[in-house]
Amino acid sequence: CRSKPATARIPWRPALSFSSSPFVIFLHFLYKIMAVHGPLVKIHPVVLASIVDSYERRNEGASRVIGTLLGTADKHSVEVTNCFSVPHNESEDEVAVDMEFAKNMYELHKKVSPSEVIIGWYATGYDITEHSVLIHEYYSREAPNPIHMTVDTALQSNKMNIRAYVSSQMGVPGKTVGVMFTPLTIKYIYYDTERIGVDLLQRTRASPSRTNGLTTDLAQVASAAGRVQEMLSTMLSYIEDVLSGKVMADNSVGRYLMDLVNKVPKITAEDFESMLNSNINDLLMVTYLANLTQAQIALNEKLVVL
């Protein structure tokens, strides 16, 4: 007999209740056009992939999925590095969230990544609903000033819109008080290891079957060398245009170029070739030993079976 998971049921109530006065209409218009000064939200691609995967695996009849965002935060930015989905049920009158499941999942994540803390929550969909306010109140007790991220998995505008918000109270003291979600600036960042997966996904766009395999190490080196050569050609073309007077010189670009030139080590061609050959020989030796060890292990397994 399996016990039913503990859930918290929150009765429905309006998120913001004001009369349609000209002042309120002006505040709503100001909210739409105002640039919000808040923390910068940095999102890693693994977070977006996890959200889309949880949406594709949602229960039958569920209109959206929600989950907890994990990462780090400072005074100027919030970096979202991980997430996990949280089971929930919604109706017109109430919303039930499995808070016990969320706490257990967070405790497990802390054992793997102690530096990641709860920084907010996510929901699939385009708009913020009344239930979003109630769920946000729960996460406000788990994290100071949590962020709320929405991912438009339905592609209503023919693309996956991703937005981040922070809540603030709005209303008249002693009377009706509501919550207003103000948008934040989003920036997509990635680690070097995540870049490999992102590049692989981008290559599938040109494939009719939407599938693509990993390239060999030598092919990756050749591709990287080709990109470097293209960038160097673009840089040389810009420098020649500036020297010929076709393009106005930009001081910021000049500083970047000077910094790039200063980072190039001063080494002769003979020393560079010798160093490169030495590193290649070391790499070939390690590869040979690894293949030899693998063959020895495979041979040993077959002998044990016999």
Name the residue among 45, 91, 82, 84 with its Cα closest to residue 66.
84
DSSP β-ladder status, 117-124 and 40-43: unpaired
Q: What is the 8-class DSSP label of residue 212?
A: -
The rounded distance, in Å, linking the Cα atoms of 201 and 227 is 18
The strand ranges marked E within the chain are 8-11, 40-43, 66-73, 77-86, 88-90, 94-97, 117-124, 147-151, 162-171, 177-184, 186-188
pTM for the complete prediction? 0.64
DSSP β-ladder status, 117-124 and 147-151: parallel
pLDDT at 4: 43
pLDDT at 169: 74
pLDDT at 36: 47
The answer to whether 181 touches 173, Cβ cutoff 8 Å, is no
19 Cβ contact list (under 8 Å, min separation 6): none
The rounded distance, in Å, linking the Cα atoms of 127 and 64 is 11
pLDDT at 106: 92
How big is the CA angle at 169 (ends 116 and 136), to the nearest 5 degrees? 40
- Token output for 242: 């500036």
How big is the CA angle at 87 (ends 132 and 141), to the nearest 5 degrees? 50
Q: Is the dihedral of CA 55, 59, 65, 71 positive or negative?
A: negative
Name the residue among 64, 88, 94 with its Cα closest to residue 6.
88
pLDDT tens, N- to C-terminus, the chain (306 residues): 334 444 554 444 433 333 334 544 444 444 444 444 578 899 999 999 999 999 988 888 788 899 999 999 888 889 999 999 999 887 777 788 888 898 999 999 999 989 999 999 999 988 887 888 888 888 888 888 899 999 988 887 778 889 999 887 776 776 666 777 888 889 998 888 888 778 777 777 777 776 777 777 778 788 888 988 999 999 999 999 999 989 898 898 889 888 988 888 888 888 888 988 999 899 899 999 999 999 999 898 888 877
Q: What is the 8-class DSSP label of residue 205?
A: G
How big is the CA angle at 208 (ends 203 and 213), to the nearest 5 degrees? 45
In sequence order, what are the beta bridge partners of 66?
A: 86, 123
Total number of residues shown for the chain: 306
Amino acid at 70: L
Element (H, E) at 103: helix 99-112
In sequence order, what are the beta bridge partners of 165?
A: 148, 183
Axis crossing angle, helix 192-203 with helix 45-56, rounded to the nearest 10: 50
Amino acid at 152: D
Q: Is 66 left (phi over 0), alpha (psi -120 to 50) or beta?
A: beta
Q: Under CATH, what is the fold of the domain 34-192? A: Cytidine Deaminase; domain 2 (3.40.140)
The rounded distance, in Å, linking the Cα atoms of 103 and 287 is 45
pLDDT at 37: 57
pLDDT at 138: 85
pLDDT at 220: 78
The rounded distance, in Å, linking the Cα atoms of 90 and 65 is 10
